[in-house]
Structure 1
Amino acid sequence: MKIAIVHYHLQPGGVTRVIENTLQAWEENGQTVEAVALSGRPYPGDQLTNTQVVDGLDYATPSEAINPQILANRLLEAAKSGLGKRPDIWHIHNHSLGKNPSLTEAVAILAESGESMLLHPHDFAEDGRPGNYRSLQEVYPRAYPTGKNIHYTALNQRDRGFLNRMLDGSLSPVHLLANAVPPSPTFSKSEEGKSNKELPENLFLYPVRAVRRKNLGELALLATAHPDFYFANSLGPTNPLFTPQFEEWKSFAQSLQLSVTYGLAETTHASFPEMVSHAQSILSVSVAEGFGLGFLEPWTFGKGLCGRNLPEITSDFSQLGVSLDNLYNFLPVPLDCIPSIQGLKETIGQALRKFYQSYNQSLPEDACHQAYYSMLQDQAIDFGRLDEPNQQAIIRTLSTSHDLQKTIRNHCGLAVLDNGMIDENCQAVAKQFSLASYADRIISIYQSLLNQGSTSNCEFANGQILLDQYLSPARLNLLRTS
């Protein structure tokens, strides 16, 4: 079986790691797969032994992008060069993300020529990336080719459901293909790790870099309600646009003398393994994820996980034996903690108008109503869907109300989990998300593609159906607007 794997680049990062894990899994499982990885930049690593650089495949704006037919020809020639013949399957990552419209159209050209392909979106231009979406304007009607020899994969059930609705009536199936979770290094549980004087006691560690969707305000809320615990995220932002907000949260926490540190790694000489070993528990309060590694990896560290759940991402995990019942789906705050309900509704309206305009879409008449009421539950509003000014106002109110603090504590259920649950979840992750399991799943998908036999006519799905699902006002989160 000869596979041409395609991505814009092979720089260190999420998709590159997925590709490296894939080839490692095949090798460890002894599967007879010959693969070449095609990218727009030279591969800086040493794990992939067969790579080809394809000029014009790297990130490009519409004005910079090369002729798609030329790119399609170059991809085919590079694949033949790396494999000795035409590939049996093209495995293409993020073709419709909007990072290079020529790749999107080149994929359409290859699809029309009868090539068998597995389209593997990790992220979507339709999901809060309006600039990417606009870059696809000319090629968007051909962004999602379909046919019995064109299959799709999704990282989670949410994306799979959205893709299935778009592809309904087509011959293209959508497979669920969660990423592998390679074994983690052993984290010391020795007393030496616990006695690190640089690190706070009773630490609940949120091991993420600071970006807006990580919902840093919820750390301050939890710290206000749990004075006996200490909360910290690990890293500051690399995006300069988020730095002012990050610094604002640091100043805000200091002004209320909260037991929280933003960017803990920047205040200590302790290594990441030392921080994990020292922590009482790992915490997650993110409001948006793709695969959801943060819900699986902590168990492999030998640590429990507390905090916010994302059911549309994690429902797959629960079905595979990873119990997340201790997490909360919704963090209710009484509506009277909001300084101005009318002001909040105006903020929601402004965000929706800006968001829909950025996608060149018409705003539904009842969009504001849908968005506001989707945030409510029993006359309370979900803290994690509010913008930073409203979050800070709520925390100030919480800081003076012991009754409200107790309510928050009871709802969140933050606790150090027993070793039995940690061990069971660790074993489930090791079994269901191992490299070996991943290798088996992906080979099964490839085989289903090859079993299709003769190709069918290529048609194109209506991407508007996918966009409408991601744009739904009921999905609005004010931490995911600009």
Structure 2
Amino acid sequence: MHLAIGHYIIGSSDGVNTVIWRTVNELLQIDPTMKITIFGKAAPEIDKFLPWHNDQLNYCDVPEMSPDFHIPGLEGKSVQIQRVHDYIWHGTNVAEILQEKLYDADVVLMENLSVGINPAATYAFYLWTLKEYQAKTQKRFFVRVHDFAQQRPANFANIKKFQAHLPSDMPDWHQILYPSAPNIEYLAINTNDYFRLMDHGIEPTKIWYTPNCIDNSLLQHQPVRHDAGGLRRQLEEEKGLDPEAAVLFYPVRAIPRKNVEEAIYLLQMLNNLVQDLEYRQKYHLERRFHLVVSLGGKSLEEKQYCTRLQEFIRQHHLPVTIDISDLVGLHREYDPENPDHIIKYGVADMYHISSMTVSTSVLEGFGFVFIEPWLMGHGVIGRNIPSVTMDFTKAGLSLDHLYNVLLINGIDFADLGAEDPDGGLNKRLLEVEKIDHPEYLRMILQKNSAPLKATLRMFRPERRRSAPRNIIIANRKKVFANYSSPVVVGKLYRILNKQEPTYLLPIHGQRQEQGLSILNGARVTA
């Protein structure tokens, strides 16, 4: 089989590229005879992304797929200000390029087409699949959904240009964003997305439920534990980490939907409680915490968000570090001339030197942060996203200690100032300033008594028979059993090879009689 996997940009440090990396590595382990071609615009880090091989694994550079591609004749016109006929013209050219370069691919897997970040590329994929179907070729197409354009207003506004003033024989935005030719099938990474695809008119017989997989290399504790301390020293020397502080790790890019200001709020709450003898003894809060957020912003909006956070951090001398990409990558990198010398540490090293993982995100595609830390013996505290975590809890994970809301004067912290021009960032940062006042802190603890007590109890895992320790052990087993790469990618391999059995979709992982009538014929991996 020749499998082609495409994305707008290949090799960058984002969640979708992480999924591609794990998928490709495991597929090559399952079937050493499989040929895989990755296509899309090459990121600057492309040479470090995958161990390229001449015969088995190849890369096809298609810069035209990037939303930042400078279209001849349209220089200076960004995706946002391009008109619909620009999308159609450029998309038609991209479709011809893909059809020519990937003519011998048996199966094409397109990642995150539904996010709509580049309308021309979305139209190109629609056109390509239609041409292949009309030509009656045997090429099969899959779309793996990670995000929806409707969740990204700017992307959705661009895609919806396809409905304005077009000839009647042209497809509208919905047909382009969710193509439904007979040669296309969909991969939904969670149950919520499965039903959303059905709501968008995709036949249940065309949807497979396949979650993302964890990074099995995180399970290799001993090879990294003995010298992960070098990363701790670098953070102290280069990022201002207090040698006496415990690390609170938020493994995400600092973008608005990750709600980093709430993580800072929790950080300051914990640091104030450390100074309270009652709380310090009751919940074993022995050291102050320093928050480390993995990556900074990339787009203009994201950079503006990071800049505002950084200004606030400096102004108030907060123990927060945003962006350690110069020190930490997805995996370790060694000096070719000195294999014992670490050039860059991996995310597993960050888990090893951290005391706890935090997530305050309000929107996730899959939600790796809710499952991967358990593999490293880490608890996860913070905000729950029920539409994402319901699959994890049905798989047996215990996540009851996560809170659904954090009330501030009767309003959820994440919703403060939501109608303001800045989305409420300044109002939320103002609440961070207040947390140092004892009376305010007592009020917040009282109004959020149950969820915050559940959060604080997770800081007692060192007690051999404590509930938190049992949760960590049990969750680790469930994550490995349900989301390890051999299990998940093994299912994907069978789907691609038409070897996976079909049956009715279990409701959140369990067969139930109620509601099965709407799922008649739906397929899901075993």
Q: Give the partner amino acid of 2:197.
A: L
> Which of these residues, 101, 123, 141, is aligned with residue 119 of structure 2?
101
- Tell me if 1:234 matches 2:293: yes
- Tell me if 1:388 matches 2:396: no
Q: Give the partner amino acid of 1:326.
A: H
- Tell me if 1:334 matches 2:397: no
Separation of aligned partners in 2, 1:391 and 1:106: 43
> Which of these residues, 432, 437, 443, is aligned with residue 493 of structure 2?
443
- Tell me if 1:319 matches 2:357: no
Separation of aligned partners in 2, 1:200 and 1:264: 21
> Which of these residues, 302, 306, 322, is aligned with residue 243 of structure 1?
306
* Residue equivalent to 2:322: 263
* Residue equivalent to 1:177: 210
Separation of aligned partners in 1, 2:472 and 2:389: 17
> Which of these residues, 155, 163, 185, is aligned with residue 189 of structure 2?
155
CA RMSD of aligned residues (A): 3.9
Residues 152 and 241 from structure 1, CA distance in 2 versus in 1: closer, same or farther, beyond 3 angstroms? same
Give CA deviations for 1:386-439 in whole Å, capped at 9, x if unaligned: 643155247527723153254246522222234332222222222222221122
Residues 145 and 216 from structure 1, CA distance in 2 versus in 1: closer, same or farther, beyond 3 angstroms? closer
- Displacement of 1:109: 2.0
Counterparts of 1:298-317 in structure 2, within 5 Å, are 298-317=373-392
> Which of these residues, 207, 217, 220, is aligned with residue 261 of structure 2?
217
Counterparts of 1:47-446 in structure 2, within 5 Å, are 47-48=51-52, 49-54=57-62, 56-59=64-67, 60=69, 61=79, 62=82, 66-80=89-103, 85=104, 87-113=105-131, 114=133, 115-131=139-155, 133-134=157-158, 137-138=161-162, 140-143=173-176, 144-167=178-201, 170=203, 173-183=206-216, 184=218, 185-186=220-221, 188=225, 198-226=242-270, 227=272, 228=274, 229-235=288-294, 237-238=296-297, 239-251=302-314, 253-254=316-317, 260-263=319-322, 276-335=351-410, 348=418, 387-390=425-428, 392-393=430-431, 396=434, 399-401=437-439, 403-407=442-446, 408=448, 410-412=450-452, 413=454, 414=456, 415-416=458-459, 417=461, 418-446=468-496
Q: Give the partner amino acid of 1:177.
A: T
Residues 117 and 393 from structure 1, CA distance in 2 versus in 1: closer, same or farther, beyond 3 angstroms? same
Residue identity over aligned pairs, in percent, reads 22
Give the conservation status (yes or no) of the 8 Å contact 1:116–1:150: yes
- Displacement of 1:127: 1.0
Separation of aligned partners in 1, 2:315 and 2:308: 10
Instruction: Answer with 48-57 or 280-289: which moved more.
Output: 48-57
- Displacement of 1:330: 1.6
Give CA deviations for 1:256-284 in whole Å, capped at 9, x if unaligned: xx7x4243859999966665334332222
Separation of aligned partners in 2, 1:241 and 1:146: 38
Give the conservation status (yes or no) of the 8 Å contact 1:337–1:393: no
Q: Give the partner amino acid of 1:389.
A: K
- Structure 1: runs of 5 or more not aligned: 355-384, 453-482
Say how many residue pairs are matched: 404
Separation of aligned partners in 2, 1:46 and 1:191: 23
Structure 2 counterpart SS, 1:430: helix
Give the conservation status (yes or no) of the 8 Å contact 2:117–2:155: no
Structure-2-length-normalised TM-score:
0.66
Residues 33 and 204 from structure 1, CA distance in 2 versus in 1: closer, same or farther, beyond 3 angstroms? same
* Residue equivalent to 2:4: 4
Separation of aligned partners in 1, 2:206 and 2:479: 26
Separation of aligned partners in 1, 2:472 and 2:186: 34
Residues 443 and 200 from structure 1, CA distance in 2 versus in 1: closer, same or farther, beyond 3 angstroms? same
Residues 411 and 95 from structure 1, CA distance in 2 versus in 1: closer, same or farther, beyond 3 angstroms? closer
Q: Give the partner amino acid of 1:426.
A: R
Separation of aligned partners in 2, 1:118 and 1:158: 19
Structure 2 counterpart SS, 1:9: strand
Separation of aligned partners in 2, 1:273 and 1:120: 27
Give the conservation status (yes or no) of the 8 Å contact 1:321–1:428: yes
Residues 158 and 392 from structure 1, CA distance in 2 versus in 1: closer, same or farther, beyond 3 angstroms? farther
Q: Give the partner amino acid of 2:107.
A: I
- Tell me if 1:18 matches 2:40: no
Residues 399 and 262 from structure 1, CA distance in 2 versus in 1: closer, same or farther, beyond 3 angstroms? farther
Residues 24 and 349 from structure 1, CA distance in 2 versus in 1: closer, same or farther, beyond 3 angstroms? closer
Structure 1 counterpart SS, 2:251: strand
